[in-house]
Structure 1
Amino acid sequence: MQPITSSTSIEQTRQHIHIAFSIPHRITSSAVLNGGIIHADHLVNLNVPKHNQCTEPPEETLAQYCIASGWKGTAVGMMTAASMDSFRMAKETVQDIDVVVMVTAGLSNARRIGDHAEHRFMVASPESPGTINIVVLTSAALTEAAGIEAVLMVTEAKSAALQNAGIKSAVSDGIATGTGTDSVAIVSGHGPETVRYCGKHVLFGEILGRMVTDTVAASIEWEFSDANSEPTSDEHHLRK
């Protein structure tokens, strides 16, 4: 495990990105395992095959993986078909507040918001796993409202990165705003600083938006590079 803040460590393998907390952290997320707002001891981004033949619910797959890995306590879990080699991490410390952004990305199901959906029932679930997964972690204590505002900022920043790169929707050929199966997690720290606002008018929001845009851009660059066909060490993409 590699420390990234005083209470957080990270491990990267070809199968997963595992973030461990020395004390439980509040996480606001769209994760398939323990999504919503929850206090957790672990956060995992699990790689699964693009054409996964597993018939069990994804949350069960993630829960069993955490148990098999010996991760005790509550875990929040995402899935992705993107290679762990696409993992990029950025960290900045501003006015004693750490901000960390972590991204894995693949573009196989890029979509523009409002595109025609393949699944035509309101309660249907996408068959493919998450593709652009973004984790934001800060040492500051975020209010619940700020955590939700951070989700909005991350979404805008991701869309800006795809727009800057000219990524097109496979359905409409319009500029993509994401993929059909993205996931986001915002991890609140324990302070002593408290952040109540993180929109575009405040410094925290400026830093968050820029970092997410840049880190998503760096992650999707892997899709178009020769590196995606070359073996790399597990730690190669743990960048700060």
Structure 2
Amino acid sequence: MISSAVLNGGMTYADHILNINVGSNSTCTAAADESLLQYSQNLNLNGAVVGMMTAASMKSFRLEQATVQGVEIVVLVTSGLSNPRHVGDHAEHREMTTSTTDVGTINTIILTSASLTEAALVEALMIATEAKTAALIDAEVLSPISQQFATGTGTDAIAIVNGHGPETVHFCGKHVLFGEILGRLVKDAVAASISWYFDNKKVC
């Protein structure tokens, strides 16, 4: 698995992945790690856990999946748009080595039955990020900082859970079928999730 998760992020092996809802005033710090660990213990999860946190409503959860040529891809998304940003916008945290940030807003979890090479995993991250951005642009979401189209929020997180095959994926770009399917699923899931957000933000 490769992820930007607050708990055990990076390239790692894991038995479980969590995406939990927390208050909008929460931050991602060492204390967040402890909260996620405590949550996993309360669920009696055994083994390594990767964990994300979000202030977004779990009612925004959307799932898209497809099986093509024996390869299954599943995309899970939760979203909120309280802090949309255009890449390169002025950042609130002004230290290059800051260890604190806010909790995730658009959280994306991708699972596949195929075994992706490490290079393909990184390429899949690129495709998924482009797909999320495309969904935001299609929805005409603007950054309040620059008034340009948002390319994400300031606190997005992503995880890609690698499969065991037998299919092996070496490439995941826009010229190959895996990249096409992954991009479409992520874009559709994000679009559906943020559509729920806009329909319900006044009552959330």
TM-score for the superposition, normalised by structure 2: 0.95
Unaligned runs of 5+ in 2: none
2:135 maps to 161
Between the aligned partners of 2:187 and 2:8, the Cα distance in structure 1 is 26
In structure 2, which of residues 102, 110, 113 is the aligned counterpart of residue 136 of structure 1? Answer: 110
CA distance in 1, matches of 2:50, 2:28: 20
Q: Which one has more relative contact order, counting CA pairs under 8 Å at least 6 apart? A: 2
Unaligned runs of 5+ in 1: 1-26, 231-240
Q: Which position in structure 2 is the counterpart of 1:4?
A: none
- Counterpart of 2:38 in structure 1 is 64
**Is the 8 Å Cα contact of residues 28 and 100 (structure 2) preserved in structure 1?**
no
> In 1, distance between residues paired with 2:136 and 2:41?
36
Alpha-carbon distance, 1:67 to partner: 1.2
Q: Is the deviation greater in 173-182 or in 126-135? A: 126-135
Contact 2:71 2:114 survives alignment (8 Å): yes
Matching of residues 181-220 of structure 1 within 5 Å: 181-220=155-194
Q: CA RMSD in A?
A: 1.7
Q: Does 1:83 align with 2:57?
A: yes
SS at match of 1:113: coil
Instruction: Answer 1 or 2: which has greater strand percent.
Output: 1
User: Match for residue 101 of structure 1?
Assistant: 75
Match of 2:14 in 1: 40
Aligned-pair distance for 1:52?
Answer: 2.9
Taking the aligned partners of 2:31 and 2:70, their CA distance within structure 1 comes to: 41
- 1:223 paired with 2:197, answer yes
User: Structure 2 CA distance, aligned partners of 1:151 and 1:55?
Assistant: 24
Secondary structure of the 2:14 match is strand
Q: Could you tell me which residue of structure 2 aligns to residue 49 of structure 1?
A: 23
Which residue of structure 2 lines up, in the alignment, with residue 18 of structure 1? none
Identity rate, percent? 58
Number of equivalenced pairs: 204
- CA displacement 1:88-147 (0-9 Å, x = unmatched): 001100001101000000000100000000111111245420000001110001111111
Structure 1: how far apart are the matches of 2:58 and 2:104?
13
Shift >3 Å, 4+ stretches: 53-56, 226-230
How far is 1:195 from its partner? Answer: 0.5
Q: Is 1:120 aligned with 2:70?
A: no
The structure where helix makes up a greater share of residues is: 2
Asked if structure 2 preserves the Cα contact closer than 8 Å seen for 1:78 and 1:130, the reply is yes
Contact kept in structure 1, 2:4 and 2:10, CA below 8 Å: yes
Secondary structure in 1 matching 2:2:
strand
> What is the distance in 2 between the residues matched to 1:185 and 1:119?
24
Evaluate the alpha carbon distance shift between residue 54 and residue 33 of structure 1 in structure 2; reply closer, same or farther with a 3 A threshold. closer
- Secondary structure of the corresponding residue to residue 106 of structure 1: coil
Give the secondary-structure state (helix, strand or coil) at the position aligned to 2:142.
coil
| 1:39-72 deviation line (CA, Å, top 9, x unaligned) | 1100000100102389852112111111121111
